[in-house]
Copies of this chain bind each other. A is one copy, B any other.
Amino acid sequence: MAATIKDIAQRTGLSLATISKYINGGNVLEKNKLAIDAAIQETNFSVNEAARNLKMKRSGYVGLLLPALNNAFMMDIVNKIQYDVRMAGFGVALCCLASTSDTESKEEEKKAVKFLMQKGVDGIINLPMNEDGAHLLEPLEANIPITLIDKQIITLASRVNAVVIDNVGACRLATDELLNAGHRDIAALFGAQDNYTARRRYEGYMDACRQRGFEPNEKHTVFADKYNKAGGYEAMKSLLHSGATAVLATNSGLTTGALRVLLEAGLSIPDDVSVVGFDAPGDQPGKQITSVLQPTEKIGTVAAEIMCENLRAIAQGRHFVPQLRTLRASLVRGSSVQTK
């Protein structure tokens, strides 16, 4: 049905090789150029990507593999990457995991990588669940470029790209905001302890405290197993009567969960308790929570950029070296912190 390169060859009296060359930007006599263009117009020809892919051993797709798609952070990143990658001519094969449990997710992530490999994606952008990076070994063997986002995998650092935010600095920023306001009894909520990001943020928290020469109360620090709303809810609940005058919630889920507890307890913010969150939905009508804002768009752009550059390098047989890009997060002040 659809026209092929063969049809163009017949119509123009040229050979397959010549048509192919022209299509791919090669040089051809002016009159042949015209003839080919005309034939392409008439037949409404467009190259068959499947055939091209077979020959070229590529697929024209980039896999985008995320642990979930249920919050604004992920959404913004997906949106940006999807767009930038597409503008570069690649398709985006989206894989967002569905499991809620950590161990299940890890298993699911491995399966997803297999799926993407089977689909033959040319590259993978991944916000990893498996922090050991075992799931990435196979694509790495196959020489498929990988760009990690949000988390670095240390053992793979020399082989994969990564675009992360300065978690230590970000959390230091958030902590300082409370410390500057005079708070010392801070209920500090972190993600699970085996989570890279959570650990870095804890580090930033400790840094900030120690810089003031004070050792935070361990009793007020909790690492939530679930880093979602439920986790934040439970964690905050357990700290409700701890005497803390401020709350530091170090990710989006924890923040929403914690806020809900405070609200249900009838506490008023910031009069009864000050709050600094992460990625707090700043978009809602109502009280604005002072919160660390991650540069999601930038993360997406940079990840896409690196990936496309890698892909171009591979196509041209050039070499490339994995990059690490660290982006800075900013603090957006709302009205949730009161000087003590």
Give the Cβ gap from A144 to chain B, nearest Cβ, in Å: 12
Q: Which of A44-52, A177-185, A189-197, A211-219 is found at the contact surface with chain B?
A: A44-52
Name A82's contact: one of B60, B95, B263, B286 (CB within 8 Å).
B95
In Å, the complex CA distance between A120 and B46 comes to: 11
Q: Which residues of B contact A78 (CB under 8 A)?
A: 69, 78, 94
> SS class of chain A's interface: helix, strand, loop or mixed?
mixed
Instruction: Indicate if the CB atoms of B285 and A46 lie closer than 8 Å.
Output: no
Instruction: Indicate if the CB atoms of A91 and B79 lie closer than 8 Å.
Output: no
In Å, the complex CA distance between A260 and B283 comes to: 10
Q: Is A202 an interface residue (CB 8 A)?
A: no
In Å, the complex CA distance between A112 and B68 comes to: 25
Minimum CB distance partner of A141 in chain B? B1
Q: Is A270 an interface residue (CB 8 A)?
A: no
Residues on A close to B: CB < 8 A? 2, 46, 48-51, 53-54, 57, 59-61, 64, 68-70, 75, 78-79, 82-83, 86, 91-96, 98, 112, 115, 118-120, 142, 229, 256, 259-260, 262-263, 281, 283-287
A-B contact pairs, 16 of them (CB 8 A): A2-B142, A51-B54, A53-B53, A61-B61, A61-B91, A61-B119, A68-B79, A69-B78, A82-B95, A86-B95, A86-B112, A91-B119, A256-B284, A259-B285, A263-B286, A284-B284
The 5 lowest CB-CB distance pairs between A and B, nearest first, are: A259-B285, A69-B79, A50-B54, A91-B93, A50-B53
